Amino acid sequence: MQKLGTTLSSFIIDEQRKLGNKASGEFTGLLNDITIACKGIANLVNMGDLADVLGATESENSMGDVQKKMDLIANDLFIDALENNGHCAGMASEELDEVLTLPDGKPRGNYLVTFDPLDGSSNMDINMDVGAIFSVLKAPKGKENPTAEDFAKPGTEQVAAGYCLYGPSSMMVLTTGTGVNGFTLCTSIGEFILTHPDMKIPEETAEFAINASNQRFWEPAVQEYIADCIQGEEGKLGKRYNMRWVAAMVGEIHRILCRGGVFLYPIDERNRDVGGKLRLLYEGNPMAMIVEQAGGAADTGYGRIMEVQPNGDPHQRVPVIMGSKNEVEKILSYHKS
Ligand code: FDP
């Protein structure tokens, strides 16, 4: 007889049970809300043009990115799943200018959630990988409407982080601070099933991911490292490298979790004033927690991403270098020298 395996809900309940009578079930409920949003998004992403979700809108987000139709739909699905069940006290989304206050009368929970509801959305219209990234923080006690200041916590204070990859299959990858586990969506029963227990990033790699078209804008340390990778066996690093660029951070990090590698979105001349391209709260911190929990490293080039002190702007950006531990350390040695 075919077995169903461990579902994401039963896995989380089991994890919480290990905490004994300290667990109220609220955290389990919160992760369940996020899972429901991701299932809703997976369904529409899979339907593509049949669900009329491709193409751009006329609006831009606070960073000046043109919003895709599916950016807004995914954002609404996250909000809808999180604002009604009393597990969450406030949200911050890459697609919203300000942090979101729950409507009056809705029950408040003990957690704050930040999310990028559709990461890599420029892949949406070409039927390539996209994803959702989320991070969970503790909400301030007794505060009806948390503000941006309450979200300004370093990544070390996250209680959970995860992403959902919408690729050939949809996968939820989650950490609650005790390792990383991956679940594949079984579309016939509508459940995420544990398929990748205790994911670990190999420490060594010879694969890098960077948008090479930005090469002339990078800092000297990154220019030098990539030039040495391209030199292969003849270069200082003494081995042949491979390159990949999915153009969706979720896809890059998933590949790195599966077979190792490094992903770089460094600071460059054009984004130096704003601190980089990727967002600390929606991308940097959650992915750094996942990568570190899987045995990798995540750094800005100048320090651990999860120790960056947020400045209170929910859209703060950060340079990103993450993946296989020994390779990240190698890149950091270029920064030091
Ligand atoms: P996107 O703007 O399409 O949402 O979130 C930023 C991000 O994608 C990352 O997911 C991705 O790795 C990167 O930007 C792609 O950047 P390029 O436009 O430089 O390819």
79-102 per-position pLDDT tens digit:
999 999 999 999 999 999 999 999
* DSSP state string for 6-32: -BHHHHHHHHHHTTGGG--SHHHHHHH
CATH 3.40.190.80 domain span(s) along the chain? 207-336
Span from the CA of 262 to the centroid of ligand 1 (angstroms): 16
From residue 191, alpha-carbon distances to 8, 43, 47, 101, 297 in Å are: 7, 12, 18, 30, 31
User: Using N-to-C axis directions, what is the helix angle for 325-336 and 220-231, rounded to 10°?
Assistant: 130
Q: How confident is the model at residue 65 (pLDDT cuts 50, 70, 90)?
A: confident
For range 119-135, the mean pLDDT: 97
Q: Whose CA is nearest to atom 3 of ligand 1?
A: 120
By the 10 Å C-beta count (0-12 exposed, 13-18 middle, 19+ buried), 94 is classed as buried
Span from the CA of 38 to the centroid of ligand 1 (angstroms): 19
Q: How confident is the model at residue 4 (pLDDT cuts 50, 70, 90)?
A: confident
Model pTM?
0.96
Report whether residue 211 contacts ligand 1, using a CB cutoff of 6 Å: yes
Span from the CA of 121 to the centroid of ligand 1 (angstroms): 8
Q: Which residues are catalytic?
A: 65, 71, 94-95, 116, 118-119, 283
Burial track 114-128 (b if 16+ CB lie within 10 A, e otherwise): bbbbbbbbebbbeee
Q: How confident is the model at residue 129 (pLDDT cuts 50, 70, 90)?
A: very high
Residue to substitute in 75, 119, 166 for testing ligand 1 pocket (most ligand atoms within 8 angstroms of CB): 119
Span from the CA of 249 to the centroid of ligand 1 (angstroms): 7
Q: How confident is the model at residue 2 (pLDDT cuts 50, 70, 90)?
A: low
**Could you tell me which residue, 67 or 256, shows the higher pLDDT?**
256
For range 243-263, the mean pLDDT: 98
Task: Give CA–CA dist 139/134, Å, rounded.
Answer: 15
Q: Are residues 78 and 115 in contact, defined by beta-carbon separation less than 8 angstroms?
A: yes
Fold of 207-336: D-Maltodextrin-Binding Protein; domain 2 (3.40.190)
Report whether residue 119 contacts ligand 1, using a CB cutoff of 6 Å: yes
The single-letter DSSP state of residue 201 is: -
Does the pLDDT at position 61 exceed 70? Answer: yes
User: Could you identify the atom of ligand 1 that is nearest to the CA of residue 250?
Assistant: 10
Neighbours of 203 (CB within 10 A): 15
- Comparing CA positions, the residue from 285, 256, 250, 245 lying closest to residue 136 is 285
Q: What is the CA radius of gyration of the chain?
A: 19
User: Any idea which of 16-30, 251-265, 268-282 has the lowest mean pLDDT?
Assistant: 16-30
pLDDT at 63: 75
Domain 8-196 -> CATH class: alpha beta
CATH 3.30.540.10 domain span(s) along the chain? 8-196
Residue to substitute in 249, 263, 267 for testing ligand 1 pocket (most ligand atoms within 8 angstroms of CB): 249
By the 10 Å C-beta count (0-12 exposed, 13-18 middle, 19+ buried), 85 is classed as middle
pLDDT at 21: 61
Neighbours of 84 (CB within 10 A): 14
Burial track 243-282 (b if 16+ CB lie within 10 A, e otherwise): eeebebbbbbbbbbbeebbbbbbbbbeebeeebbbbbbbb
Report whether residue 195 contacts ligand 1, using a CB cutoff of 6 Å: no
| Mean pLDDT over the full length of the chain | 95
Report whether residue 67 contacts ligand 1, using a CB cutoff of 6 Å: no
